[in-house]
């Protein structure tokens, strides 16, 4: 049973009446159903997008079901569809905010993705509370971080900072990458410890964010990475970041990096040397 089944049809009828008319691109409930039956992610997305302006009870039910699909891309397009129907979306938002508090990992995953994709800033307190819940699986924790990324508000910084301490590398990497995208973000000090992360993809992302945000406190660790990290992509990003920081004290390490076994590292180090003050 989907979350929509819990809503009164009378309430839905009122919401439909309150929803402004939309300019559609065509499509039909039957075509959405056909796409769902095909199990093709691309087909489902295409048909949901085609019904951008279509209003019908069956469409609402079908797309609501898609908000609980196992594929993130499908959940995302379903949330996009509802974002264009604020009166109906508001009912789902209320249900999903409740799911963050006491729902299963899957319910939290679905709720966080819906709230993030519909840009529901008012849900940030519930999202922050959910990240502190115990027992959530990786999918739920990743969705909470992903929602904070989509909302791109400093009130979501707590979620991202928690995500950077997660046991799962994908969650940590997603949180690091999201940090720079938050509007009015002032520094990347919280990212600096991730330069020493055990996972290369996290170190690579952290180097890009520290350099991109000119976080000088990360300079010493970047100088270590650029000449000693086992991963060439990390060494390359460290060289790029040192160039962005532009500190003359980085010259010896960047000079050493110009003899790196990787041509990408050598080239990036040479460019970075020209950016030092």
pLDDT tens digits along 103-154? 999 999 999 999 999 999 999 999 999 999 999 999 999 999 999 999 999 9
Count of domains in the chain?
A: 2
Of 186, 212, 230, the residue at which a domain comes to its end is: 186
pLDDT over threshold 50, residue 32? yes
pLDDT over threshold 70, residue 8? no
Helix boundaries (H) for the chain? 9-18, 29-38, 41-50, 57-66, 72-83, 86-102, 105-117, 124-131, 138-151, 157-163, 169-179, 200-212, 219-228, 232-245, 251-257, 263-273
pTM of the model: 0.90
User: Quick one: 155 and 196 in the same domain?
Assistant: no
Q: Give the domain range for residue 178.
A: 1-186
Average pLDDT over residues 37-42: 97
35, 54 Cβ separation under 8 angstroms: no
pLDDT tens digits along 246-270? 999 999 999 999 999 999 999 999 9
User: Quick one: 41 and 170 in the same domain?
Assistant: yes
- Which band of pLDDT confidence, cut at 50, 70 and 90, is reported for residue 99? very high
Of 140, 160, 186, the residue at which a domain comes to its end is: 186
User: Quick one: 164 and 275 in the same domain?
Assistant: no
């Amino acid at each position: 049973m989907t979350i929509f089944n819990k809503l009164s049809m009378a309430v839905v009828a009122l919401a439909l009446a309150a929803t402004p008319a939309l300019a559609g691109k065509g499509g039909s409930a039957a075509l959405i159903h056909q796409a769902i039956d095909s199990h093709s992610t691309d087909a489902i997305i295409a048909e949901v997008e085609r019904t951008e302006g279509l209003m019908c009870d069956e469409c609402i039910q079908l797309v609501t079901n898609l908000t609980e699909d196992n594929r993130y891309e499908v959940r995302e397009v379903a949330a996009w569809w509802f974002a264009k129907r604020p009166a109906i979306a508001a009912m789902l938002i209320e249900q999903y905010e409740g799911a963050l508090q006491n729902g299963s990992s899957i319910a939290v995953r679905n709720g966080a993705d819906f709230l993030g994709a519909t840009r529901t800033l008012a849900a940030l307190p519930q999202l922050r509370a959910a990240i502190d819940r115990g027992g959530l699986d990786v999918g739920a924790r990743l969705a909470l971080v992903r929602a904070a990324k989509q909302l791109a508000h400093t009130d979501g910084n707590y979620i991202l900072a928690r995500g950077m301490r997660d046991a799962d590398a994908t969650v940590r990497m997603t949180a690091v990458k999201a940090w720079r995208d938050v509007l009015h973000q002032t520094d990347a000090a919280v990212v600096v410890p991730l330069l020493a992360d055990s996972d290369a993809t996290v170190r690579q992302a952290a180097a890009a964010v520290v350099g991109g945000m000119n976080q000088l406190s990360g300079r010493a660790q970047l100088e270590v990475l650029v000449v000693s990290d086992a991963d060439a992509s990390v060494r390359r990003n460290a060289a790029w970041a040192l160039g962005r920081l532009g500190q003359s004290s980085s010259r010896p390490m960047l000079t050493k990096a110009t003899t790196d076994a990787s041509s990408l590292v050598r080239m990036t180090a040479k460019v970075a040397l020209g950016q030092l003050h």
